[in-house]
C-alpha cells in the first residue's frame, strides 16, 4: 500500500487531449508574444497584413511545393531523412491518430498565424532592417529551424522551410499569404499522414 502511494498513479502522463490543448495555446500564444516583440523591435508584425482573397489563394498555391517535398520525404527517405519519416510514423501519428479534422485544423491555424507573426512579421522584418533583405531571411530561417530542434536533419528541413516561407513573404509582401501557406501545409500534411498514409477514419 505504502509503495503504491509512493509510486503514484500509473496514468500520470498528460492525455492526448491535454497535449493538443497545450500545443494550441502555445502556438496561438506566439501571436501576442510577437506583437510585444514587434513593438520592442519597432516592427509590428501585422503592419504588412492585409485581408485579400487573391493573396490568400496565392498562399494556398505556395503550399503545394511544400506538400510535394513532404511526400518525397515519406516515399524516398534517403539517408538521414529516414529519421524524419520515423518521427512522423511513430510520434506524430501516435499523437494525432484519434484527432478529428477540426482539431488538426485548429492546430494548423494556430501554428500558421502564431509562427508567421513571430518569425516573418517580427523577426525577419527586424533582421532585414539590420542585415539587409537576404541577411534577414537567413537569420530568421536559422532561428525557425532551431526552434524545431527535434533532430539535426529536422532543423535543416525546417530551416529550409523557413527560407521558403520567408521568400514567399518577400515576393508577395502580405503576411496573410505565408499564414495561409503555413497553416494549409500543416493541415494537409497532418491529414494525409493520419487519414491516408495510416488509415485513421475518425
* DSSP labels, 91-148: IIHHHHTT--HHHHHHHHHHHHHHHHIIIIIIIIHHHHHHHHHHHHHHHHHHHHHHTT
Hey, what's the cell of 186? Answer: 500543416
Nearest to 173 by CA among 52, 64, 66, 61: 52
pTM: 0.88
* pLDDT of res. 202: 57
* pLDDT of res. 34: 97
* pLDDT of res. 180: 98
Count of residues in the chain: 202
**Which residues are within 8 A (CB) of 173 and not within 5 positions of it... i.e. 6 or more apart?**
48
Q: How many C-beta atoms surround the C-beta of residue 25 within 10 A?
A: 10
* pLDDT of res. 15: 78
- SS3 (DSSP) at 150: coil
| Tens place of pLDDT per residue across the chain (202 aa) | 444 444 444 455 667 778 888 999 999 999 999 999 999 999 999 999 999 999 999 999 999 999 999 999 988 988 888 888 888 888 888 888 888 899 999 999 999 999 999 999 999 999 999 999 999 999 999 999 999 888 888 899 999 999 999 999 999 999 999 999 999 999 999 999 987 766 655 5
Output the CA torsion sign for 51, 106, 89, 145: positive
- How far apart (Å, rounded) are the C-alpha atoms in residues 164 and 156? 12
Amino acid at each position: 500500500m505504502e509503495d503504491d502511494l509512493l509510486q503514484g498513479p500509473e496514468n500520470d502522463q498528460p492525455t492526448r487531449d491535454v497535449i493538443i490543448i497545450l500545443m494550441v495555446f502555445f502556438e496561438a500564444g506566439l501571436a501576442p508574444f510577437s506583437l510585444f516583440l514587434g513593438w520592442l523591435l519597432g516592427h509590428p508584425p501585422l503592419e504588412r497584413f492585409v485581408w485579400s482573397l487573391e493573396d490568400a489563394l496565392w498562399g494556398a498555391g505556395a503550399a503545394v511545393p511544400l506538400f510535394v517535398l513532404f511526400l518525397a520525404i515519406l516515399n524516398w527517405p534517403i539517408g538521414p531523412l529516414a529519421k524524419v519519416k520515423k518521427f512522423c510514423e511513430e510520434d506524430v501519428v501516435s499523437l494525432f491518430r484519434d484527432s478529428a479534422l477540426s482539431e488538426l485544423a485548429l492546430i494548423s491555424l494556430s501554428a500558421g498565424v502564431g509562427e508567421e507573426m513571430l518569425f516573418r512579421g517580427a523577426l525577419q522584418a527586424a533582421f532585414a532592417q539590420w542585415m539587409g533583405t537576404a541577411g534577414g531571411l537567413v537569420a530568421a530561417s536559422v532561428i525557425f529551424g532551431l526552434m524545431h530542434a527535434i533532430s539535426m536533419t529536422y532543423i535543416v528541413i525546417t530551416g529550409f522551410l523557413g527560407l521558403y516561407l520567408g521568400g514567399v513573404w518577400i515576393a508577395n509582401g502580405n503576411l496573410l499569404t505565408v499564414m495561409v501557406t503555413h497553416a494549409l501545409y500543416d493541415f494537409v500534411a497532418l491529414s494525409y499522414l493520419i487519414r491516408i498514409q495510416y488509415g485513421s477514419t475518425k
